[in-house]
Chains A and B, each alone.
Chain A
Amino acid sequence: MKNKFSTIDSCKHWAAEAGPGYPEAVSRWLDHVRDTDTDIKAFAFIDTEKVKERASLNVGAGRGERLRGVPIGIKNNICVRGALTTCCSEMLREFRPVYDAHVVERLEREGALIVEGLNMDEFAFGSSCETSSFGYTRNPWDISRIPGGSSGGAAAAVASGSIPASLGSDTGGSIRQPAAMCGVVGLKPTYGRVSRYGLIAFASSLDQIGPITRNVSDSALMLEIISGYDKRDSTSVDLEVGKFTENLDRDIKGLRMGVPEEYFTGGISPGVRSRVEEAISVMEGLGAEVTRVSLPHTRYAVSCYYVVGPAEASSNLARFDGAHYGYRSGKPGDTTDMYFNSRDEGFGDESKRRVLLGTYSLSSGYYGKYYLKAQKVRTRITEDFLAAFEKCDCLVTPTTPTTAFGIGEKTRDPLEMYMSDVFTSPANLAGIPAISLPCGTAENDMPVGLQLMAAPFREDTLIKAAHAFERNTEHHKRYPLSGKDPGGQDVEG
């Protein structure tokens, strides 16, 4: 008998049945994860003592009810006070932050049970979860395949039913791409919507924290809880947060949907194309007005992203030097040796590659040619979007060009790996909100993600459109391994 979580609601139900107090609920939940996560390894580790300790501290009165007793998984680059927050790197293997990230405070305020330790690509550098120093996470739909990345653990844990919802971070698609590949819902909010305070930075101008859930209504709920101004993050926007959950169950008659031609060319697989085109037809059937639009600078997005992202990362990761915290090499030498050896031994290959790339593009003599030029391209990409949103309310595209690929299939060719971000990175460069939701399966019977993008701070439109699609289709009910919807009830494993 296995007890699989599905949605936040069904989990609340389960948590209530599990016992009156948290301790028992926590123990039962930990048993549950051991069952569901054995083959998947969505969790790089679980610090059971820490989970219990925080749960016991969080029982008190004055807490919100919307997530009471609900375990929420946290990607391992979001700071949880006193808990291992490693970015899945040797560099931070023993690192325990002295403070909680803004989003962690928000979740606990609603009574959530914080479970950190979800696997990820090292420092979020990757699209397959293969660069983690804790080893691979496997796709619950086919354990020979990758779950996507970098929030691979966060997506796989929701897909496998280990947890009903998780928080990931998205710099170039790191929430949406794994959500698509694992057949769950991933939302990247508008840049500035959610405070980054406590998110270990990859690229500060692109990073955004967002939810991964089994359905759109949970996504709306999670977004509602974590959004809003935080004075500790200067890039957080002081704008009233609407009730995203009120955008559920709306019809989409007359919703202007743009289909950008640039997202249906090149490396897109036939299966992915078919599923997305079918999804567009469904939307049209629901009353959406579909128009073709063009975002001409899209083809430069990946190049632009791989200049801007590593440039910022090279500076953000400079602090990991062995001097103050984190890994320090045991080799003898002076301060410079300590820097070199600690960084050489503490960082994995992909991290080194990104730091080198970024250092190069910021260097004297190359700054104008690479960094500055990329910023100019970024402006063009943003302008493309803003022009498109004059004519339509949202854009609909595939989330990824292909379904999940095999473990090890692309690790030898970084450029091929980087192309996984081709449809997702433009939204980060433009700072606009985007959501990926399941729209069926394609090659190898693996899930396909449908991506919707909207104008800045129009997450309401995304949720309305995504929920309309979800209500009228069955894709989100397909479940990996069993292929059945547990609906929060016990099912045979």
Chain B
Amino acid sequence: MRAGKVLFKMAKYDTVIGLETHLQLSTETKIFCGCGNVFGDPPNSRVCPVCLGHPGSLPVLNRKAFEYAIKVALALGCGVQRTVKFDRKNYYYPDLPKNYQISQYDMPIAYDGKIKITLPGGVHKVIGITRAHLEEDAGKLLHDIPGPSSYVDLNRTGTPLLEIVSEPDISSPEEAYLYLVELKRLIRYLGVSDCNMEEGSLRCDANISLKPAGAAVLGSKVEIKNLNSFKAVREALNFEVARQTEALDEGEAIPQETRLWHEEQRVTISMRTKEEAQDYRYFPDPDLVPFEVSSGVIESVRETLPELPASKQERFLGQYGLGEKDIELLISDIDLADFFEKTVKIFSDPQVVCNWVKGEVMMHLKEQGESIESLGLSPQTLAEIIQMASSGRISGLSAKSVLKEVIGTGRSAEDIVRERSLEQVSDKGELEGIVDSVIADNQKSVNDFRSGKEAAIGFLVGQVMKKTSGKANPKVAGEMLRKRII
């Protein structure tokens, strides 16, 4: 906080940021019809008269989408709107077959929540959540098919979306980034969305304005769209801070506008100004009758809430006796935390498992850049490999190589160890003759060790390893050497 305050004093302008995040909820079916809610199917294969907006068709709310929204509301500490009402947002676009989007205007399902982020240096900051509302997603325009026409894929139309709007409490691009990381972690804990930005299941628009440091009145708001990753959010906001600072320094006014982030050129470009802003003519959707949410419904959703990061952190501290840094890493993702716990259930040394997870497993995760599930590594297999290493059946180095091969090929660890003859020789009877011959052939080193040169034992163990083509258990060999020499 101290460092922050110094910066605060030095900066000429205050940065005010608010984020709008769209989450695709991972319900089985779409929000207002029975079509499957899946990504990646052939264009227009997951459609029906309702999501195609055919004349005469009518929407019916998917109860699961509504429950997921309440789940998020509770996890964000929001109030839950007791009357669920939907509105129509009217605008024309070819990916929106009804030319209105069913959304929630003045009565969002959730309001007044908060999210806690941890700034560099360990200081916590609370970012307010203004509201979260349910709406339907639009389709996609396909422009890259050869020929003069554009095409429309309406598979995505009607995918349930939850739009989460933050308060303008975010004071820097870095805080915006941390907010998104924290939000994603929370949503992934709740299991209501994949939060996959590449597949579009998490999308974000940023609002930013600058004002003279300490001023009460906010500057003009600039909205940035087309942000395709958390890093892009941070980079685009940094670009905007610089652009707006320069303009303000020059005495120019910042127009209220919407700008697009240009991924290749790494700049924002003006898309439309306030004067061109659309009038969405919101009004209550007469096809969806408002209904009341009872306390019973809210309580039954509350019962389905999983252990959230804060409680998990506390429990891990007490249960596993790990360091704070280790725990922070393990609970950064629900799947990682679960993976750790499942592994510990089988191999019951938490620190050893943690070391493996934060070391090897994380390395492979980063290389593949995907979820732990997609690694194809089960907790059983990891525990099996750790067990092999710590019992001395295979060397630590072999264990890492086995893990790599399991992840790469999906074969069983046992098969890999057998096929590659990775088992170490730990049997003293088998090693006796070799140890004796190494002692006989290396008298100088033996004498060095006797005279107190501890390092000499390493050389002797190395000789044993050489003679066994690396299969001797170095620990066992070392012990035997010591016994014999002394």
Contacts and interface: CB of A to CB of B under 8 A. Distances in A.
Interface of A: 78-79, 85, 87, 92, 95, 97-99, 101, 196-201, 203-205, 231-235, 311-312, 314-315, 318-321, 323-325, 335-336, 339, 359, 362-364, 367, 371
Contacts of A367: 281, 283
Given A205-B286, A234-B289, A315-B88, A364 B60 contact: no
Shortest beta-carbon contacts, A-B, top 10: A318-B99, A205-B286, A204-B286, A362-B281, A200-B55, A198-B56, A79-B56, A364-B279, A200-B56, A319-B98
A95 B54 CA distance: 10
B89 to A, nearest CB: 10
Contact of B61 (A92, A234, A311, A336): A234
Interface residues of B, number: 29
B52 interface: yes
Contact of A312 (B53, B94, B152, B286): B286
- Specify the main secondary structure of chain B where it touches its partner: loop
A319 B283 contact: no
Nearest to B52: A324
Nearest to A308: B286
Nearest to B61: A234
A171 B49 CA distance: 23
Given A203-B286, A235-B286, A339-B92, 7 more contacts: A85-B56, A92-B55, A101-B56, A204-B285, A205-B286, A234-B288, A235-B287
A198 B57 CA distance: 6
A58 B434 CA distance: 92
B90 interface: yes
Contacts, number: 98
B58 interface: yes
B59 interface: yes
Interface of B: 49, 52-61, 88, 90, 92, 94, 97-100, 152, 279, 281-283, 285-289
B90 A362 contact: yes
Nearest to A371: B283
B58 A79 contact: no
Given A235-B287, A311-B283, A362-B281, A98 B49 contact: yes
B99 A325 contact: no
A97 B92 contact: no
A363 B282 CA distance: 8
Contacts of A87: 55
Contact of A362 (B60, B61, B283): B283
Contacts of B49: 97-99
A87 B55 CA distance: 10
Nearest to A203: B286
A349 B97 CA distance: 24
B282 to A, nearest CB: 8
Nearest to B90: A315
A319 B53 contact: yes
Nearest to B53: A319
B65 to A, nearest CB: 14
A362 B285 CA distance: 13
B287 A234 contact: yes
A323 B58 CA distance: 20
A352 to B, nearest CB: 16
A235 to B, nearest CB: 6
Nearest to A230: B58
Contacts of B94: 323, 335
